[in-house]
Amino acid sequence: MSFGLGVLAGGAVFIATRKPSNGGRPGASKGSRSDAPNGKKKNDGRLDHVHIYVLLDSSGSMSHVEDGVIQGFDNFVQDTKAHLRGQRIPAYFTLVQFSTENPFKVSIEKKKIKDLQPGFLTKSDPVNNVVGTFAPSGGTPLYDAFGQLIEHAAAQKSSTEAVNMFVFSDGKENDSTTFTEGRLKDLIAEKNQENGWRFGFLGANQDAKAFADKFGLGADAAQNLTYDADGFKTGWQTMTQSVAESISQPNNIDGAFKKHNNTYESQGAYGKRGAGSLSNNLGSIPSSSRY
């Protein structure tokens, strides 16, 4: 089965350079550590490493696409590690899962991507009473998880870190108790005004671009996925390509990502490859487990 590949414009890792300022002092140099107190490196606006955050929906309905999630993750690890071998930019990875059963499950915390291994995400095996590391159940407290992850990232973000946050979900918000729509919008808007934040939303069974627009992520920061294994593998491929291209082309992001995103989205509405609609996509899902 063939499908196009999209890359998120707004979700791209952002490695940017601002013109350093020497404060008008004679003899001050760009990279001088003595310019900053306590011998720390001076903050000149340059982002010198990236931290990829993935917020992964693990609500009950995600059991329908668990093979795609697991295979997509494995491919992301292998492909991104291969790309980073030729790069000098340090890259870290954090994975958080969410559902009503476990609203904020930190599965991987700031691990160097070069040290990640395929096979981390596993399915449950009820016959042998084994619970997998990806075990969908419960509802979808999306706003709470998204807001908490932003706060979690902000608490440890350095001034030279580029935060690139991707959200995977197959359903709409239905169970948050802390973050309202307005509070989450405000938090995202705040981070968008700061240096080094980018967001991407990859969703099935909904209009992902409408979600991105509502929360100020930008239409180019969203991708509609089909509600099947191939759809979610596509989502991981999008993220992989976004990370790789933005690291390779730090000063030429927008044009490249818009081109790839448009190629993918032309395949069909809501990420359907060919004829189909959002309502038809939902029709095959039992109403008790859609979200």
Whether residue 130 is contained in a domain is answered as yes
Domain that holds residue 187: 48-273
CA distance 23 to 125: 62
Whether residue 255 is contained in a domain is answered as yes
Whether residue 12 is contained in a domain is answered as no
Strands 49-57 and 161-169: parallel
Which ranges constitute the DSSP H helices of the chain?
66-84, 142-156, 181-192, 208-214, 229-248, 254-265, 278-283
Whether residue 27 is contained in a domain is answered as no
Is a pLDDT exceeding 90 seen at residue 245?
no
Whether residue 159 is contained in a domain is answered as yes
Q: Which residue has the tokens 């990859």?
A: 202
pLDDT of residue 44: 59
Of residues 271 and 164, more confidently modeled: 164
Q: What is the CATH number of the domain that holds 262?
A: 3.40.50.410
For 24-46, the pLDDT digits (tens) are 444 443 433 334 444 444 555 67
Is a pLDDT exceeding 50 seen at residue 276?
no
Whether residue 149 is contained in a domain is answered as yes
Does the predicted model carry a pTM greater than 0.85? no
Q: Which of 94, 223, 82 is nearest to 149 (CA)?
A: 94
For 81-101, the pLDDT digits (tens) are 998 887 888 899 999 999 999
Is a pLDDT exceeding 70 seen at residue 213?
yes
Number of domains in the chain: 1
Residue 3 contacts residue 233 (beta carbons within 8 Å): no
CA distance 8 to 268: 17
Whether residue 18 is contained in a domain is answered as no
Whether residue 178 is contained in a domain is answered as yes
